[in-house]
Amino acid sequence: MQEIQSCPVCSKESFKEYLKVPDHFGSKEGFTLVKCCSCQTLSTTPQPDEKEIITYYKSNSYVSHGDSINPIFDFVYRTIQNRNLKYKRKLIERYTLGKNLLDYGCGSGTFLEYMNKQGWETKGIEPDENARQIAEEKGVKLTSLDQLNSEYDCITLFHVLEHVHKLKETIQTLIEHLSKNGVLMLALPNYNSRDAQQYREFWAGYDVPRHLYHFNQKSIFSLAKEFGLNIVSTHPLYFDSYYVSLLSEKYKNGKGNLIGAVKTGYLSNHSAKKTKEHSSLIYVLSK
C-alpha cells in the first residue's frame, strides 16, 4: 500500500481531503479520496500496488471481467451493454477515417467481438488472465503494450484509465501508436455528476481501491494539456447514471432499490442537460 505523494495528472504535491470511501464491493476497507488543489483530479489513498490490487478484484459479481451470477443484475447490465455497444460504434465512426482499433482494457472482449462483426480490424489489451481467455474464445486478437507494432485509427479506454497504475507511461505509449488523424477515446465516471453528489461515499463510480483516480472535466482538460492533446468533443453515457445508481443504492441500503435508482439516474441525466455533468463521459482526444 502506497500513500499518494504527487498528483498522477499534473505532478503537483498539494492535496485536500475530499471524502472517505469504503470498498463496498469486497474488502470493506476504508480509503480516502484526496483532491489535487491544482487540477482537481481525485486520488485514492493509500493505493494497493499492481500485485496487491489483484485480490480486490476477486469476486463473482465483478461483471466488468466476467459473467454475473445474479440474473436481474445481469439482465440490466446486458441491456445497458448492448445499447452502449452501438452508441460507442456510432461515435467512433463519426471521428475516424480508417478501421483499425485498439481497445486497452478490453475485458472479456464483448466490444471487440462486436466491432469485428462490423468490419473493424481490432486488437485488445487485457491484464486479467480469465478475461483474456474468454476474449480469445470469442476470436478476439490480443496484444500487450510492449508488443504494439502498428498505428491505430482509434484507441479506446472504456472505464479503464481509472484502473491503470502506470498512468502517464501508458498514455504516452498509446499516443505513440495513434495514427496521425487518430483519436483516443476515454470513458470515465464523472465525480461532478448529480448522482455522485447525491450518493457521496456510496457512489459506485468511486469503486475504491480498484479506481485509483477519479476525474472531472477539468482534470481531463489538464491531462490532455500534459500530453499536448486536443479535446475534440465530450459525450454522455446516458445509461451509466442508472447502472451506477443501481449499484450505489445497493451499497447504501444493502439491497437493490430499482425505483430509487431509476429516479436518481433520470434526475442525473435531466440536470446534465443544463450542466453537462453526466454520470459518465466519453472524451474524444486527438493529437
Binding site for Zn ion (CB under 5 A): 7, 9-10, 36, 38-39, 41
Tell me the three cell numbers of residue 229.
492533446
Tell me the three cell numbers of residue 264.
436518481
Q: How far is the CB of 223 from Zn ion (least distance, A)?
A: 9
281, 187 Cβ separation under 8 angstroms: yes
Q: Identify which of residues 7 and 187 has a Cβ nearer to Zn ion in the complex.
A: 7
Q: How far is the CB of 217 from Zn ion (least distance, A)?
A: 14
Tell me the three cell numbers of residue 126.
487485457
What burial class does residue 57 get, using C-beta atoms within 10 Å of its C-beta: 0-12 exposed, 13-18 middle, 19+ buried?
A: middle
Q: Identify which of residues 41 and 280 has a Cβ nearer to Zn ion in the complex.
A: 41
Q: Identify which of residues 171 and 183 has a Cβ nearer to Zn ion in the complex.
A: 171
CA angle 99, 101, 105 (to 5 degrees): 165
- Nearest alpha carbon to residue 16 among 24, 25, 7: 7
Q: How far is the CB of 168 from Zn ion (least distance, A)?
A: 12
Q: How far is the CB of 174 from Zn ion (least distance, A)?
A: 20
C-alpha distances in Å from residue 57, one per residue of 52, 156, 240: 10, 22, 20
Q: Identify which of residues 167 and 232 has a Cβ nearer to Zn ion in the complex.
A: 167
DSSP state letter for 201: G
Q: How far is the CB of 39 from Zn ion (least distance, A)?
A: 3
Q: Identify which of residues 7 and 34 has a Cβ nearer to Zn ion in the complex.
A: 7
Question: Taking the CA of residue 116 as centre, how many other CA atoms within 13 Å lie in the half-sphere pointing to its CB?
Answer: 16
The alpha carbon of 92 is separated from its chain's Cα centroid by a whole number of angstroms, namely 17
Q: How far is the CB of 148 from Zn ion (least distance, A)?
A: 28
> Residue 120: how many CB atoms within 10 A of its CB?
19
Q: Identify which of residues 99 and 168 has a Cβ nearer to Zn ion in the complex.
A: 168
